[in-house]
Amino acid sequence: MAENPSDPTEADSPSGPLADPVVSGPGASIAGRESIVVPPAILAQQAGWSEPGTDVPGPAAPKSDEPQVFASTVRKQQTTSEADYENVGSGGKLGVVLGVVLAVLLVGSGIGLYVVNKGSDSKSTAADSATSQPSQTPTKDPVPPIKTDAKVLPQVSGDFGKKADITLPSQKSDGSFVVKPLSQGDGAKVNKGDWISATYTAKDWTTGKDIPGTYDQDQGKPQLFQAGLGNLIPALDSSVMGQKAGTRLLVVAPPAAGFGDQGNPKMGLGPKDDMVIVIDIQRVNSPGARVSGDVTPPPADFAAVKVNGDGKADTITPPANAADPSDLKTAVLIQGKGPKVENGELVIVQYTGVTLKDGKEFDSSLDKKTAFGFVVGGGNVIQGWDKGVAGQNVGSRIELEIPAAQAYGANPPQGSNIPANASLTFVVDILDAGIGQPPQG
């Protein structure tokens, strides 16, 4: 990692160090550029996404006259109820400087209601700059205040968690920015910086045309994004604030709450078109979330794990005379009930990492009080992370013993306390996974 060399993000590679275990390793600051992600249905196929297991092409250069939208093809949408995720904590975002592949995966098929990169940090890495876009503002007009109703509104039918049926009235929209709960959930409340999983259905009220949503593409996979940071168009960013998981929202967004007077040609939206979006808030994870559930002790040859409260890093104690593993070893400490994590998905985790021989901690998202996000299988984190997290269930806590060859090898991050050729042990909570753009520093 560029800003935190102790992060598992910086691993050896032919082209240079990786960042964090996840991209080259977990652990850096999230502050930086902004992006707006639109679910698969809203933005037609976008450049940069490849099916899991295939090579990932570089992101296409955005046109200067339109905002870039991100989306990424990932996991199959679950048809299970909220109870299936009861062991997932309320947490959510871990700061880190991510590499190019992360953002690339997001620029694929899918709809991202993200407005891209409004600025850049002077400390950005070369990999970061490769994914950055020109500073853009979603709208020149002020965003109107949110109303909970209007004289004329579309009619919506269908159940939460399934594609909505939107019937548009014959009258035109009056230009109000409306956020109206259609059904109330009883899950965690959305606060600023929380990670949100959401699915949606959308229409262009002006033309009457459908806008592809998450239920139309990518097997209904949810969008995963951080709320209230100003990285999304207000139609998504502002509308979910203060709402609860399990809630279905009707959102009517005039251009000022969407893509402004430039519209979004890729989505078929003109500069004067009003959007209608029905958003299902699936899950909410706060920055300090942990998974919960029945704990299974690790095998005798694994490090013992003590989970500390109050956002403190876990205590990981290797067995006496611990031997370096010849290959990656994985133990499931809490079995999650969510969907399996697939390559190409953005995954949100909490983690603590120590050296296998002496149990010395070198990095933890819990110390930083912010969860970490990366795209699985993108080669942006150490290999042991890419291999170890893929195939695990959301809501799981896993322990990874990673040989040096799948960690940092002979060249650990400068400034870290990781010895050369050191095997590492991580405890990882898998909070959520879906289509989205990783935080960029």
Distance CA 423, CA 403 (A): 4
pLDDT at 100 over 80: no
pLDDT at 90 over 80: no
The pair of three-digit structure tokens given for residue 409, joined into one six-digit string: 């090898």
Q: What pLDDT, on the 0 to 100 scale, is given for residue 295?
A: 97
Helix (H, G, I), strand (E, B) or coil at 368: helix
**Greater pLDDT, 404 or 72:** 404
Instruction: Quote the percentage of the chain above a pLDDT of 70.
Output: 68
pLDDT at 11 over 90: no
Residues 291-295 have a mean pLDDT of 96
Distance CA 158, CA 260 (A): 30
Which pTM was predicted? 0.71
pLDDT tens-digit series, residues 193-213 = 999 999 999 999 999 999 989
Q: What pLDDT, on the 0 to 100 scale, is given for residue 74?
A: 26
**Greater pLDDT, 218 or 133:** 218
**Greater pLDDT, 95 or 353:** 353
Q: What pLDDT, on the 0 to 100 scale, is given for residue 267?
A: 87
Is residue 419 packed enough to be buried (19+ CB in 10 Å), middle (13-18) or exposed (0-12)?
A: middle
The pair of three-digit structure tokens given for residue 96, joined into one six-digit string: 């880190």
User: In 3D, which of 133, 91, 129, 81 has the Cα closest to residue 112?
Assistant: 133
The pair of three-digit structure tokens given for residue 141, joined into one six-digit string: 């007009």
Is residue 397 packed enough to be buried (19+ CB in 10 Å), middle (13-18) or exposed (0-12)?
A: buried
Q: What pLDDT, on the 0 to 100 scale, is given for residue 438?
A: 83
Residues 281-309 have a mean pLDDT of 95
User: In 3D, which of 275, 271, 265, 166 has the Cα closest to residue 215?
Assistant: 166
DSSP state of 352: E
Distance CA 430, CA 341 (A): 9
Residues 147-151 have a mean pLDDT of 95
Distance CA 433, CA 423 (A): 27
Tokens 């050729």, located at residue: 421
Q: What pLDDT, on the 0 to 100 scale, is given for residue 230?
A: 86
Tokens 């992600």, located at residue: 37
Q: What pLDDT, on the 0 to 100 scale, is given for residue 106?
A: 31
pLDDT at 4 over 70: no
pLDDT tens-digit series, residues 382-396 = 999 999 999 999 999
CB 399 within 8 A of CB 369: no
Going by their DSSP bridges, the two strands 146-147 and 177-183 should be labelled as parallel
Q: What pLDDT, on the 0 to 100 scale, is given for residue 441?
A: 52
Instruction: Quote the percentage of the chain above a pLDDT of 90.
Output: 60
Q: How confident is the model at residue 346 (pLDDT cuts 50, 70, 90)?
A: very high
pLDDT at 189 over 60: yes
pLDDT at 225 over 50: yes
Of all helices (H) and strands (E), which one includes residue 102?
helix 100-106
Q: What pLDDT, on the 0 to 100 scale, is given for residue 269?
A: 92
User: Which residues neighbour 39 within 8 Å (Cβ) at sequence distance 6 or greater?
Assistant: 71, 110, 111, 112, 113, 198, 199, 200, 212, 213, 214, 217, 223, 435
What are the sequence ranges of the domains in the chain? 146-285
pLDDT at 165 over 50: yes
Distance CA 271, CA 257 (A): 12
Q: How confident is the model at residue 128 (pLDDT cuts 50, 70, 90)?
A: very low
Helix (H, G, I), strand (E, B) or coil at 305: strand
Q: What pLDDT, on the 0 to 100 scale, is given for residue 433?
A: 96
**CATH 3.80.30.20 matches 146-285:** no
Q: What pLDDT, on the 0 to 100 scale, is given for residue 71?
A: 25
Question: Which amino acid, residue 219?
Answer: Q
**Greater pLDDT, 181 or 68:** 181
The pair of three-digit structure tokens given for residue 363, joined into one six-digit string: 């990095």
pLDDT tens-digit series, residues 46-87 = 322 233 333 433 333 333 333 222 222 222 233 334 444 444
Which sign, positive or negative, has the C-alpha torsion 170, 175, 176, 181? positive
Q: What pLDDT, on the 0 to 100 scale, is given for residue 249?
A: 98
Mean pLDDT of the chain: 75
Distance CA 238, CA 254 (A): 13
pLDDT tens-digit series, residues 408-430 = 999 999 888 899 999 999 999 99
CB 366 within 8 A of CB 310: no
